[in-house]
Amino acid sequence: MIDVVDKEMIRRLHYVEGKSIRWISRELGFARQTIRKALEDAEPPMYHLRSPRPRPVTGHIREVLAQWVAEEQKNKRHLTGERIYQRLVEEYGYTGSPSTIRRLVGELRRNAKETFIPLEFRPGSNAQCDWGEDVAILDREETLVQFFCLRLGFSRMPFVMAFPTQRQEAFFEGHTQGFIFLGGVPLSITYDNLKTAVFKVLAGRNRIEQNSFIAFRSHYLFESRYCNTGKGNEKGGVENLVGFVHRNFFTPTPEASDWAELNELFLKRCLDYARTHKVPGSKMTVYEAWQEEKKHLLPLPPHPFPCYRHIEAKAAQNQLVRFENNYYSVPPSCAGRLVVVRAYVHRVEIYADHRLVATHRRSYGTGEEIYDLDHYLEALYRKPRALEDAKPFHRADLPPVYHRYLAALKEHHAQPEKEFVQILMYHREVGWDALTLALNKALDERVYHAPGVRSILEQLTGKCLISQGTQDLSAYRVSRPNLKQFDLLGSCNNGRIVH
């Protein structure tokens, strides 16, 4: 093989000095074919193997390595070259050098790498959806956050919303709020094979969807698309957004008083991103492209989809309804009856006879009991001695003035607990805030009875309150009337009816 210096000399002798190929071959000792190749190409000579070098050591394990590389691509578990070498030594008695294995593994991985096709979406034609997980500080406590991501394909406009769960009601709520924020509905949305949407994965891209998700799609009239199994990169736009949210929304760790404040922060950062980033391959900012894309989105329906999950449950005699291993109180009229539970992301509503009877914050713990003190006031009025041992009273988190007033009643009233429960019932007409003010004033004025508190409330609110007592009519006993007394009306006196 000739080097670059020999090649230059051959070309100079022929093209500058006019020497023939035969003369150059005779003087320099190179074959005529070699000289002709040098004259045709001025590039530095390259060495090419006519046949692959024999690999006596790695040849018999190449198939093993190829299988391992294919498995790691499928399972996304990347082994180091050193670990692969150790496995070969342990499992196959390999005696070659580690560098040979590293070189061969690198070659196999390069050959296995997938190439990607750049995508370009028409305005309003597609959005991509995914979930991420990170940590935030909510009400001074470290909280695991599930964040929902939706990104328009044309403008790259993002929507991010934080939730305590990835359950279906959060999945639907994320879409609903996202459509409102983005100003419409895209024609199609691309998903992974989320269990909240997909009931069963079939061959290829075919899916059997959850009935509830079909109803949700029907409400907003968008089409669903699904990535091939294990191919989340097919929706790379939102995959990149999830990473961006980790780096920019959760670094440093965000702090908020509640979920609503955290989501306000996220919406602000979405808008900041849109105003400061350009659409790839375009001079428009994401915000400017979004304004254009809005014109092509499907309009929002007249009312949003009801984003809750509902089940039937039976209320126990202790007035508690079980839902997802937590317990929620209901009024006494519901005890022992079937009720309907509607579980939203942050609240639980309970219905009896198509009427809303209870609303509670939703718990994502286990075995938690959530009480509304109002549900137990009738029972406590009938059994006042149970007041201070009752869970609903302990967990009501009433202001200190209530406990001070109860202590004062014990010193001035024969039935302090019953009188106190009667006073608590006043909140149904004026609210807890007004009742709290009235109790403070009652203590100042040394008023230690329910009628006095009612009078103070009427002064504060300008309302005429109904005298509160037990509202459970079953507690009243009415004697059976003597119907024979009506016979006197028809008695005769000398042929005249006595009136």
Q: What is the pLDDT of residue 26?
A: 86
Q: How wide is the angle at C-alpha 171 spanned by C-alphas 166 and 173, nearest 5°?
A: 120
Whole domain around residue 339: which residue ranges?
A: 309-370
Residue 346: band (very low, low, confident or very high) from pLDDT cuts 50, 70, 90: very high
Residue 233: band (very low, low, confident or very high) from pLDDT cuts 50, 70, 90: very low
Does any domain span residue 393? yes
Residue ranges with strand state E in 344-419:
347-352, 355-361, 369-370
- Last residue of some domain: 352, 370, 388? 370
Q: What is the pLDDT of residue 236?
A: 43
Q: What is the pLDDT of residue 451?
A: 93
Residue 52: band (very low, low, confident or very high) from pLDDT cuts 50, 70, 90: low
- Last residue of some domain: 342, 370, 398? 370
Does any domain span residue 105? yes
Half-sphere exposure of 131 (CA within 13 A, CB side): 19
Check whether residue 194 and residue 329 sit in a common domain.
no
- Last residue of some domain: 235, 263, 294? 294
Instruction: Fill in the DSSP letter of residue 203.
Output: S
Residue 494 predicted with pLDDT over 60: no
Check whether residue 381 and residue 360 sit in a common domain.
no
Check whether residue 135 and residue 28 sit in a common domain.
no
For residues 470 and 457, what is the distance between their CA atoms, to the nearest angstrom?
19
Q: Give tens-digit pLDDT for 159-204.
A: 999 999 999 999 999 999 999 999 999 999 998 766 655 544 444 4
For residues 228 and 231, what is the distance between their CA atoms, to the nearest angstrom?
5
Residue 88: band (very low, low, confident or very high) from pLDDT cuts 50, 70, 90: confident
Residue 410: band (very low, low, confident or very high) from pLDDT cuts 50, 70, 90: very high
Question: Among 129-133, 204-208, 337-341, 401-405, which stretch is predicted with the lowest mean pLDDT?
Answer: 204-208
Check whether residue 149 and residue 69 sit in a common domain.
no
Mean pLDDT for the chain overall: 85
What are residue 275's phi and psi, to 5 degrees?
-80, -20
Question: Among 76-85, 123-132, 149-158, which stretch is predicted with the lowest mean pLDDT?
Answer: 76-85
Residue 92: band (very low, low, confident or very high) from pLDDT cuts 50, 70, 90: confident
Does any domain span residue 55? no
Contacts of residue 493, defined as CB under 8 A and 6 or more positions apart, other chains included, come to none
Q: What is the pLDDT of residue 443?
A: 95
Q: What is the pLDDT of residue 185?
A: 97
More confident residue, 51 or 324: 324
Q: Per residue in 283-297, is it b (16+ CB within 10 Å) or e — as a string?
A: eebbbbbbeebbeeb
More confident residue, 110 or 45: 110
More confident residue, 54 or 92: 92
Does any domain span residue 120? no
Q: What is the pLDDT of residue 475?
A: 46
The whole-number average pLDDT for the span 259-275 is: 97
Q: Which residues pair with 457 in a beta bridge?
A: none
What DSSP element (H or E) covers 443?
helix 432-445
User: 415: helix, coil or strand?
Assistant: coil
More confident residue, 191 or 116: 191
Q: Which residues pair with 74 in a beta bridge?
A: none
Q: Give tens-digit pLDDT for 287-321.
A: 999 999 999 999 999 999 999 999 999 999 999 99
Does any domain span residue 249? yes
Check whether residue 258 and residue 352 sit in a common domain.
no
In the chain, how many domains are there? 5
Q: What is the pLDDT of residue 240?
A: 78
For residue 208, the domain's CATH number is 3.30.420.10
The whole-number average pLDDT for the span 383-401 is: 94
Retrieve residue 444's tokens: 């100042």
* Rg of the chain, C-alpha, whole Å: 40
